[in-house]
Amino acid sequence: MKSYIAHLDYSVPKARITLSDILSDGGLSERDLAKISQKLLGRIVPKQKLIDSWESMSSMFLGDRRTEAGMFVDMLAKMFASGIAQASEISYIIYSHGNSVSVGDPWSLHSDEESVNVPYFLQQKMEMANAVVFNVEQECTGSFTAINIAKLLVEHGGARKVLILSSNYFECTQKRLMGGCVFVGDGQGLMLISGGPGPLEIIDGVGKTDGRIDSINSFMDAKNQQRILDVGSSLIHELLRKHGLSFDDVPILVPLNTTPIVWQAYAKRLGISLKKVFFENMGKGGHLGDVDLIRNLRDISSKQEFPNGYLVVYGVATGTSWNALLLKTCPLAAETAGHRREETASVV
């Protein structure tokens, strides 16, 4: 039996926050600014010059975690109305968003409002009575792991359809500068995995973890950056060799939307042209954690530019874990690929 990504959808907020907003609010020390300057510009410059240098950068999506459940309700209602799936057909709901399943959404812990576990709320609200809910936590690549689990559940576990939910919201402005060089935005997305049909067939997925690189500081260390590059490149080559493929058979490599600078080194290590790397969403709204995977695949599949072509999707999670997926595009009606929309901030 085969498994497919049968539906993709994502939502990003209309509100934005700029790099100037982050650097101007006084929350970063001079030492922090010096580190950011060194990483971004290759030299230390005065604070205002740093702000001026990046004033033209695309702003980051700024959302409100309290809208998360409501936005998922909208996306699910649209999916069920399309006929792609019925609520009773959802066997599992995989929520790849931190520890919310166990402690509730962090925003509610700072108010008098009752804590709401989003996937449980959605299971009841959308009448997915047959669905079992569980959580997958792997920073930035939880959706990769969720796809691998969903593939096993569909192909070998008797699941009819598996719903994957992913969201990324940052409450602390300063933390939007991840490692001083990756800019983080807010958003959420969902995927439906089934036995088909769908715009993307899930061929295989591989992963590797190294617990020695266990923090942002160790992740950004120069010697570990080289190791991250080497291990990731080897993992991608391993995945292709396993299926008798090379990059001659793969028209596009899909990364997370972090920074294009690092992909110059990856391209050299992989022996490919940068033209093969999907940069369309890079720098547009920021890195949305593992929502990047959903956003990028939805945008690629909706264009149907690579019918019956292979895609390699790659991501690294600080912690540190490497993940790579091999997918194959299937020519389908654009409706199957899902819908993108921007939402206005509203409190659920």
Strand-pairing partners, residue 168, are 187
Burial environment of residue 145 by CB neighbours within 10 A (0 to 12, 13 to 18, 19 or more): buried
pLDDT tens for 312-345 read: 999 998 778 999 999 999 876 444 444 444 443 3
Q: What is the spatial distance between Cα 130 and Cα 127, in angstroms, rounded to a whole number?
A: 9
**Torsion 238-327-136-183 (CA) sign:** positive
Report d(CA 272, CA 27) in Å as an integer. 41
Most confident range (mean pLDDT) of 29-33, 60-64, 110-114 is 60-64
Task: Compute the distance between CA of residue 7 and CA of residue 95 in angstroms, rounded to an integer.
Answer: 16
| pLDDT for residue 115 is more than 50 | yes
Predicted confidence (pLDDT) at residue 240 exceeds the cutoff of 90: yes
125-181: pLDDT as tens digits: 999 999 999 999 887 899 999 999 999 999 999 999 999 999 988 777 767 777 666
Run of H or E residues at 17: strand 16-17
- What is the number of other CB atoms lying within 10 angstroms of the CB of residue 46? 10
The whole-angstrom separation of Cα 255 and Cα 295 is: 11
Cβ contacts of 47 within 8 Å, gap of 6 or more: 23, 30, 33
Tokens of 316: 């690294």
Looking up tokens 């036995």 gives 195
Q: Distance between alpha carbon 135 and the CA centroid of its chain, in Å?
A: 15
Burial class (CB in 10 A: 0-12, 13-18, 19+), 303: exposed
**pTM confidence score:** 0.86
* Residue linked to tokens 């022996």: 271
56 pLDDT higher than 70: no
Q: Quick one: pLDDT at residue 155?
A: 97
Taking the C-alpha atoms of residue 323 and residue 317, their distance in angstroms, rounded to an integer, is 8
The sign one gets for the Cα dihedral 177, 166, 293, 240 is positive
Chain mean position to CA 144:
8
8 Å CB contact between 200 and 327: yes
Query: Two tokens at 123?
Result: 């299971």
- For the chain, the distance separating the N- and C-terminal CA atoms, rounded to the nearest angstrom, is 40
Task: For each of the domains in the chain, give its residue range(s) and CATH number, in order of start.
Answer: 4-12+61-198 (3.40.47.10), 19-53 (no CATH), 200-336 (3.40.47.10)
Read off the pLDDT of residues 205-216 as tens digits, 9 standing for 90 and up. Answer: 999 998 888 777
Q: Which of 294, 10, 281, 285 is nearest to 143 (CA)?
A: 294
Model confidence at 102: pLDDT above 80: no
